[in-house]
Amino acid sequence: MTEILIKNGFVFDPVQGINGDKKDIAIKDGVIVESVSSAAKVIDASGMTVMAGGVDIHSHVAGAKVNVGRNFRPEDKLQAVYEPARGVRHMAGGNSVPTVFKTAYKYADMGYTTVMEAAMPPLYARHTHEEMRDTPIIDQAALPLFGNNWFILEYLKNGEMDNATAYISWLLRSTKGYGIKCVNPGGTEAWAWGLNCMTINDPVPYFEITPKEIVAGLIAANEALHLPHSLHLHGNNLGNPGNYQTTLDTLKIAEGFKPNNTFGRDQVLHHTHIQFHSYGGTTWADFESKGAEVMDYINKNPQLTCDIGFVTLDETTTMTGDGPFEYHLTALNHLKWANTDVEVECGSGIVPYVYSKDIYVCGVQWSIGLEMALLAKDHMRCYLTTDHPNAGPFTRYPRVMKWLMSEKARDEVFASMKSEDKVRDRSTLGGIDRELTLYEIAMMTRAGTAKALGFGGKLGGLVPGMQADVAVYPYNPETESDPEQIEWAFSNAKYLIKSGEVIINDSEIVSNGNKQTYWVDVKTKASTQVEHDLSEMFRKYYTVSERNYEVEEKSFMKNPNVIAIDATL
């Protein structure tokens, strides 16, 4: 029986409404408890900030395209020197696409304990799981891609909802996936022909279904399956001036849908990296922020959640299932481009990108993310991400926190820009003096994300009975005034406890933990049509056989944690 008592810290737990009160957190056998015996190991957190373990809702940390990014960017390793093995730590390196070990250590240093891999090509699920298995410490899960999958396009076009849900259930089970991810609905399939769907009404070649129908169908399927997380969407027309209209059209699709689950999730649609989808203007010359418009709509619609995708102003690597977007990007910046089309299912692309402070477009992108987060009314529905590594590496989360919490820090960035006036002119950020509180940051990074992912009641808070994931940061909210201290403290947790086990002790990683991988096993009515279609599709169109497709827990996963749902009830 392990007992731990974290004493005297300033506790921030939006789940319980605790806002910086000095409180002790007691842990016993991996969960938070009311109290512990006098034999408990005591951690003195006086003068420090205590929060639940961070929960990242969207990050590209494992699988095929991440690894292509690592492979084709050896120069990325030069930006961050390889750290040799030390203690329990393996050798670790890489900057924007770090190795699996570095990924785990950096998340741990930031006090994060759970990370959602944002895009898993079903056919390459084994790759994703092998990398997650080799990523220590952090609990993970992966979202398989559905928005360009031939089965889905076919079933949704024909209005066969029972077949769509039976197929999704089969695919989640086969790939050990967690929920429904949709990237550039229809557009990536069109990209297999060199085309794209730029609005929600552009039909997909051959399938004759529109992105609008795909999104509506996937939301309906998600709720019919009672999944813990909602549809996780990256909409059409990413990264183009004027795309906020497409984004509003897309968000409106969710109107009229109701969440249907027992996991405490309230949204039916999570729109990811919304910063990239909130652009005004018609070209890069008259490019401007429409963050206020988009955030206004989200504020008014409780069925929605979003994460931002903050631009961190770094040299980074973009990687997404949005194949046509990546091609568009390489045509803009002339840097190397990788592309993979995955049979029957999806596609992807990878291009390095430099978000330079000296380029006004990058400056405006930086402003839009912050502007949106500062205009958000409910940070339980608006989350901190960088779409790692697309808008910047996840290791910059503490820097983003600094910007969110300090107008002075933002002004310093503005002042360092070559075209400060132009950047200020194109968004409302300069006129916003709001500074987020640690309480709001805790919403954006643990309470809110855990709830949206369906981990509410288990993760994201410090309520007795919850999994004992606790981070202690060397930050005194009562005395600290230097914004730089925010960035430093949230990059260097003093203590981190995961499932009751001490991972970081006095700033030193002392354990590789006991990571788990979540997946969702949802039971549906059997569909002979889907069974028939699967055998037909594997026989005719897949290069692998149906029997060789499934990810077996035993070989590919470490500590699988199955979330069983009966959707036939």
Partner 1 sequence: MAMSTMYPKYSTKMENDTVIMEQRLLKKVSNLVLNTTKCTGCGICSEVCPKDAIILGLVGAVRRGAVKDEAAISVDPAKCSYCGVCTILCPFDALEVRVDGEPSLPIKEQEGFPEYDFTAEIDENKCVRCTTCSEACPRDAIVRDIPVYEGEVADGAKRQTALDAVTTLVVDKEKCNVCGICASLCPALKIKRIPFTAEKVGSAGEVVWDESLCNACQVCATACPEHAIVVERVVKEGSKLAGKVTIDKETCVTCSWCEKVCPEEAVTIKKFFDGEIVFNADKCPGGCSTCVDICPCNAIYLPTPVPALQLKKDSIEPTIAVNADLCILCGACVNACPSEDVITIRRSGIHVKGPETDLFKSIAAKLCVPRSSKIQEDTFGQVELKPLE
Residues of the shown chain interacting with partner 1 in the complex, contacts defined by CB under 8 A: 190, 193-195, 205-208
Nearer residue to partner 1 within complex by CB, 10 or 207 = 207
Nearer residue to partner 1 within complex by CB, 194 or 256 = 194
Distance of closest approach, residue 554 Cβ to partner 1, in angstroms: 40
Nearer residue to partner 1 within complex by CB, 204 or 423 = 204
CA distance 372 to 295: 6
Nearer residue to partner 1 within complex by CB, 194 or 302 = 194
Please state the separation of Cα 154 from the chain's center in Å. 28
CA angle 257, 455, 402 (to 5 degrees): 100
Distance of closest approach, residue 160 Cβ to partner 1, in angstroms: 15
The angle that helices 244-252 and 291-300 make with each other, rounded to 10 degrees, is 10
Quote the tokens at residue 106.
């950096």
Distance of closest approach, residue 85 Cβ to partner 1, in angstroms: 51
CA distance 350 to 352: 7
Distance of closest approach, residue 198 Cβ to partner 1, in angstroms: 13
If one counts every other C-beta atom within 10 angstroms of the C-beta of residue 45, the result is 25
Tell me how long the chain is: 569
Nearer residue to partner 1 within complex by CB, 202 or 487 = 202
What is the DSSP secondary-structure string of 354-400? E--TTSHHHHHHHHHHHHHHHH-S-TTSEE---TTTTSS-GGGHHHH
Instruction: Assess contact for 305 and 230: CB atoms under 8 A.
Output: yes
Nearer residue to partner 1 within complex by CB, 172 or 209 = 209
Nearer residue to partner 1 within complex by CB, 158 or 282 = 158
Q: Which residue has the tokens 């410490």?
A: 137
Distance of closest approach, residue 187 Cβ to partner 1, in angstroms: 13
Distance of closest approach, residue 217 Cβ to partner 1, in angstroms: 17
Quote the tokens at residue 461.
């808070």
Nearer residue to partner 1 within complex by CB, 82 or 193 = 193
Mind spelling out the 3-state secondary structure of 10-51? EEEECCCCEEEEEEEEEEECCEEECCCCCCCEEEECCCCEEE
Residue of 126, 73, 125, 129 lying closest to 100 (CA atoms)? 129
Please state the separation of Cα 530 from the chain's center in Å. 30
Dihedral (CA of 38, 39, 40, 46) sign:
positive
Nearer residue to partner 1 within complex by CB, 208 or 484 = 208
Distance of closest approach, residue 303 Cβ to partner 1, in angstroms: 33
Distance of closest approach, residue 206 Cβ to partner 1, in angstroms: 4
CA distance 113 to 495: 12
Distance of closest approach, residue 194 Cβ to partner 1, in angstroms: 7
